[in-house]
Structure 1
Amino acid sequence: MNKPIRITVADDDPGILDAVGMMLEMEGYIVNATLNGNTILTSQNELPDVYVLDIWMSGSDGRELCKKLKSEERTKHIPVILISASNDLKYSAEIAGADDFLAKPFEIDMLLSKIEKALLN
């Protein structure tokens, strides 16, 4: 039996966080959702299989979080998908080491396909 896939989602918009979390749970994922991206760096819980991080969050920047995750031995192998309301940030997401980028607003199917792609790599 396969273990369930864990996804950590960080976004400072409670509406987006709730909607994305609910849709991912309906797809069978275990979701850890947080309004404060900085908590993912200090979390001692079981590591996720994928991170989905908003780029612009109050108190933290998804690109900086991505760089930190990619520089740490225990998290550098975990795919990071950055999301943002600005499509102009795709390049800076790549510079930060993100595995993928998604512009808001997005269809949940698009996010699901990016998560599936990230899990295959």
Structure 2
Amino acid sequence: MPKRILIADDDPGIVDAVEMMLDFYGYNVSSTYNGAEVLTLQDNYPDVLLLDIWMSGCDGRDICKELKAKSNTQSIPVLMISASKDIRQSAMEAGADDFLAKPFDMQELLNKIERLLN
């Protein structure tokens, strides 16, 4: 059964490119441009969440904190991504399991996802 990855990013170019690449590697990929939607997940949780830090209307760090505070979602690995390299520390303090700065190398993304899945 393919691993499920959810992408929450408000940049359609990033979402499309990452979706296509992850789909090519056999992952079951879904996405949202609205990070707050991640907090409405009821079941069928992803195996990994790729979460942008700065999305219109919400801060990915706040979403990550909420997910990590709930017993039913705290174990979902969160890979936070951002165009700012300087906020790695705040991403990790928010509960992220890893961080990746944009623009990123697709192989590096794949390696981080594999590590989070294992």
Is TM more than 0.5 here?
A: yes
Give the match for residue 63 of structure 1. Answer: 61
Once the 2 structures are TM-superposed, how far is the Cα of residue 45 of structure 1 from its aligned partner? 4.5
Q: In structure 1, what is the equivalent of residue 71 of structure 2? A: 73
What is the aligned partner in structure 1 of residue 46 from structure 2?
A: 48
State the SS of the aligned residue for 1:74: coil
Distance 1:93 1:26 in 2: 28
| Cα shift at 1:60 | 1.3
Q: TM-score with structure 1 length normalisation?
A: 0.95
Gaps of 5+ in 1: none
Measured against aligned partners, the alpha-carbon deviations of 1:8-53 in whole angstroms (never above 9, x if no partner) come to 1010011111111111111100111110011111133510000000
Q: Displacement of 1:4 after TM fit?
A: 1.2
Paired residue secondary structure (1:38): helix
RMSD: 0.8
3-state secondary structure, aligned to 1:48:
coil
Q: What corresponds to 1:29 in structure 2?
A: 27
Runs of 4+ in structure 1 deviating by more than 2 angstroms, as ranges, are none
Give, in whole Å, the separation in 2 of the partners of 1:99 and 1:6.
17
CA distance in structure 2 between the aligned counterparts of 1:17 and 1:107, rounded to whole angstroms: 14
Deviations 1:50-74 (A, max 9, x none): 0000000001111111111111111
What TM-score do the two structures reach when normalised by structure 2?
A: 0.97
1:39: which partner in 2? 37
Identity between Structure 1 and Structure 2 (%)? 59
Equivalent pairs, count: 118
What is the SS of the residue equivalent to 2:113?
helix
Q: Aligned partners of 1:77 and 1:44: how far apart in 2?
A: 14
Structure 2 unaligned blocks of 5 or more: none
